[in-house]
Amino acid sequence: MGKNFELSTNLKKYFGFENFKGNQEPVIQNILSGNDTFVLMPTGGGKSLCYQLPSLMLEGTAIVISPLIALMKNQVDAMRNFGEDDGVAHFLNSSLSKSATLKVKEDVLEGRTKLLYVAPESLTKESNIEFLKQVKISFYAVDEAHCISEWGHDFRPEYRKIRSIVNEIGSAPIIALTATATPKVQHDIQKNLGMLDALVFKSSFNRPNLYYEVLPKVNATKEIIKFIRANPGKSGIIYCLSRKKVEELAETLQVNGIKAVPYHAGMDSSTRSGNQDKFLMEDVDVVVATIAFGMGIDKPDVRFVIHYDIPKSLEGYYQETGRAGRDGGEGRCLTFYSYKDIQKLEKFMQGKPVAEQEIGRQLLLETVSFAESAICRRTILLHYFGENYIDANCGNCDNCLHPKKEFQGEEFVIKALKLVKLVKERFKIDHLVNILTGEMNSSIKSYKHDELEMFGCGKDRDQHFWNMVFRRALVHSLIEKDIEQYGVIKLKPEGRKFLKNPVPFMLTDDHDFEGVDLEATKA
């Protein structure tokens, strides 16, 4: 009997499922073959099964490194449901008593435990390392692997020690899993875990049923009330940046007869979980929340997600909007944007370590670029996740439904690419734009770029325009952002080809959010 047959039988036997989801089967086969494996799958894609099933089939114990204690307990309970043996899955973390810890270690050493969940803090403890050295390990699974990267949305320094601890305990294949798929984060993870050769399984992050729209932040509160009234009885989440705004907006909605509750980490825990339950049980329609709301919440029929404030990163935007339409039905994602909010976010970052500020600034730039662009929202979002999705009118975003007029832009793209080459692919977009528009500043001066023949060669257009040209070139894979020095623009093979052999290239002006009268937002 072939392996495939055995896999399906075990899928049914242990989990009661008839078919594998997405990449699960090839992923599991790769693990069973003893290779390093990298799994990029959106939330809800079925990542846990990718390590749970092979752990039951292989000799020894699989070590699962996972950051959340609460999540660990759920997973262990779920695993015990289908194992004949209570000891089939255990967790090891700081919440266990001494005697419970002893029982876990006994089960593991007796070979009854197929899966051992370990918090990264516990993994770094010398006594646990000594213990694990005695264990036959089938493989290591690093869950939420984006925690390794400072470019991910949940950086945890202990995650960076995993590789050296694995070496100390004893090497075995590694499987890394995450729902964060930006090429930068992916590269960081593979490099840090020493698995650049791993086989990578990447699912599409496209959510065709989600509608994306960015609106100028004018009279946002009024607009939100209007929208909710036009969608009576539908469930939705509204994200705000600050706790204060959360409370304010929830109150305004209530005053306007909308069933809404606030949710943020500053509330006492019983009110907070009470509000969450009201939303899940549909006693209220709307929850107004900070980003503290949503992790692990599985309400399938959320019909809209509104960002009252622009998120700090596109990653956050994707995760938060992703909570809409999980049942495959309608999911409207509206974002209110004004450039002033970006400046506010930049101000918040001051005082943080310089490296962190630089990362924050780059992530923010990506968000600005998304908000202001007249290109298909889905195209930009998926491009950010390293997916190629062009030529298509997605039919489900504001820019595709109301396209702006296009014009022939070949000459501008040529200028932009020529400049990238001229300065030896060592500069970021804002610097390149400054050269084209002839903007003098200290950086231009120190590189003597004002002496370049191209300095000011595009000054008949403004900075906004040239930013747009670079974004277009990025989305069309003519240029790319360097993986190691993020933000530095390099030519891609397609870009070199374009320079040698230019072809017609259509452009559209970006949206102009600067002309917006922001005082009106006080509604």
| Spatial contact of 509 and 465, defined as CB atoms under 8 Å apart | yes
In the chain, the N- to C-terminal Cα span, in Å, equals: 69
Least Å distance, CB 26 to ligand ADP, is 13
How many other CB atoms are found less than 10 A from the CB of residue 52?
A: 22
Residue 273 corresponds to which tokens in the numbers above?
A: 């979980």
Where residue 134 falls (left for φ over 0; alpha for ψ -120 to 50; beta otherwise) is alpha
Least distance between Zn ion and beta carbon 410 (Å): 23
Which of Zn ion, ligand ADP, none binds 145 (CB below 5-8 Å, type-dependent)? none
Beta bridge partners of residue 175, listed in sequence order = 37, 141
Question: Residue 327 corresponds to which tokens in the numbers above?
Answer: 């049942």
Closer to Zn ion by Cβ: residue 265 or 390: 390
State yes or no: residue 43 binds ligand ADP (CB under 6 A): yes
**Helices then strands, each counted (H, E), the chain:** 22, 17
Residue closer to ligand ADP (CB basis): 14 or 263: 14
If the CB atoms of residues 102 and 295 are measured against ligand ADP, the closer one turns out to be 295
- Residue range at the interface with Zn ion (CB under 5 A); choices 130-138, 361-369, 391-399, 441-449: 391-399
Answer with the entry of ligand ADP, Zn ion, none that 44 interacts with (C-beta below 5 to 8 A by kind). Answer: ligand ADP
Half-sphere exposure of 403 (CA within 13 A, CB side): 14
Query: Can you read off the two tokens belonging to residue 84?
Result: 């004949």
Stretch that binds ligand ADP, among 39-47, 271-279, 331-339, 353-361 (CB under 6 A): 39-47
Please identify, among the stretches 75-83, 232-240, 392-400, 435-443, the one whose residues bind Zn ion according to the rule CB under 5 A: 392-400
Work out whether 400 is an interface residue with Zn ion (CB under 5 A). yes
Bridge partners, 335 (sequence order): 214, 307
Return the one option of Zn ion, ligand ADP, none that residue 325 interacts with (CB less than 5 to 8 A, by type).
none
Site string for ligand ADP, 17-36 (x = CB under 6 A): x-xxx--x------------
The closest alpha carbon to 185, from 68, 319, 311, belongs to 319
Among 46, 83, 87, 360, binds ligand ADP (CB under 6 A): 46
Binding Zn ion (rule: CB under 5 A), the pick from 104, 394, 444, 468 is: 394
Total number of residues that touch ligand ADP (CB under 6 A)? 13
| Residues paired with residue 491 on neighbouring β-strands, in sequence order | 479
413 binds, among Zn ion, ligand ADP, none (CB under 5 to 8 A by kind): none
Per partner kind, with CB cut-offs from 5 to 8 A, the member of Zn ion, ligand ADP, none near residue 400 is Zn ion
Among Zn ion, ligand ADP, none, residue 21 binds (CB under 5-8 Å by kind): ligand ADP
Does 378 bind Zn ion (CB under 5 A)? Our answer is yes
Bridge partners, residue 332, by sequence: 211, 304
By 3-state DSSP, what share of the chain in percent is helix, strand and coil, each rounded to 5? Answer: 45, 15, 40
Question: What are the tokens at 233?
Answer: 């009885």
The distance of closest approach from Cβ of residue 28 to ligand ADP in the complex, given in angstroms and rounded to an integer, is 10
**Over the range 215-235, which residues count as b (16 or more CB within 10 Å of their CB) and which as e?**
bbbbbbbebbbebbeeeeebb
Residue 253 CB, shortest distance to ligand ADP, in Å, is 30
Determine the residue type at 126.
E
Rounded Cα gap, residues 417 and 491, in angstroms: 7
Q: Using the rule CB under 6 A, is 41 a contact of ligand ADP?
A: yes
User: Is residue 92 within a helix (H) or strand (E), and if so which, with residue range?
Assistant: strand 89-92
Residue 92 CB, nearest approach to ligand ADP (Å): 20
Choose the stretch contacting Zn ion; rule: CB under 5 A; options: 146-154, 311-319, 366-374, 397-405: 397-405
* Strand, helix or coil for residue 140: strand
Contacted by 250, from ligand ADP, Zn ion, none: CB < 5 to 8 Å by type: none
Nearest-approach distance from CB 300 to ligand ADP, in angstroms: 11
How far apart are the C-alpha atoms of 406 and 502, rounded to whole Å?
18
Residue that has been written with the tokens 């039988």 in this structure: 9
Return the amino acid letter for 332.
Answer: R
Q: Between 193 and 394, name the residue whose CB sits nearer to Zn ion.
A: 394
Q: In this complex, which beta carbon is closest to ligand ADP, that of residue 62 or of residue 444? A: 62
Which two structure tokens, joined as six digits, stand for 478?
């003519």
Q: In angstroms, give the least distance from the CB of 520 to ligand ADP.
A: 41
Binding site for ligand ADP (CB under 6 A): 17, 19-21, 24, 41, 43-49
Binding site for Zn ion (CB under 5 A): 376, 378, 394, 397, 400
